[in-house]
Amino acid sequence: MITLTHFLVVSACIFCIGLYAVLAKRNTIMILVGIELMINAAILNFVAFGKYDKVNYGGQVFAIFAIVLAAAAVAVGLAIILNVYRHFNTINPQNIHELKD
């Protein structure tokens, strides 16, 4: 039988993969992908913990909200990346270090 722990483990794995992508990828698009993975890991947790609210299905509802918000956030992120590319002619985050003091 598939228990809560299985969900959580899968979720943690996805989160870690997403985290890795965010920290290590040399392409901003892939970082955005990593962020999506991490969001999806969180949403998976919402859905998994949703079994404790069988009246309102609060977990499932919140997950749908989160999916919509994530889609919107990705749209904004892509727009930023497009502008960054226009400005720097690259989307490699290592070459973009204007944040340095």
Cβ at position 73, least distance to other proteins in Å: 16
CB nearer other proteins, residue 63 or residue 91: 91
CA dist 73 → 2, 66, 67, 78 (Å)? 32, 10, 10, 9
Q: How far is the CB of 57 from other proteins (least distance, A)?
A: 30
Provide, rounded to whole angstroms, the least separation between the CB of residue 29 and other proteins: 14
- Cβ proximity to other proteins, 21 vs 63, nearer residue: 21
Where on the chain is the footprint of other proteins (CB under 8 A)? 19, 22-24, 31, 93-94, 96-101
Query: Considering beta carbons, is residue 17 or 22 the nearer one to other proteins?
Result: 22
> Taking a C-beta distance cutoff of 8 angstroms, is the pair 66, 42 a contact?
yes
Measure the CA–CA gap between 63 and 55, rounded to whole angstroms.
Answer: 16
In the chain the first and final C-alpha atoms are separated, in Å, by: 54
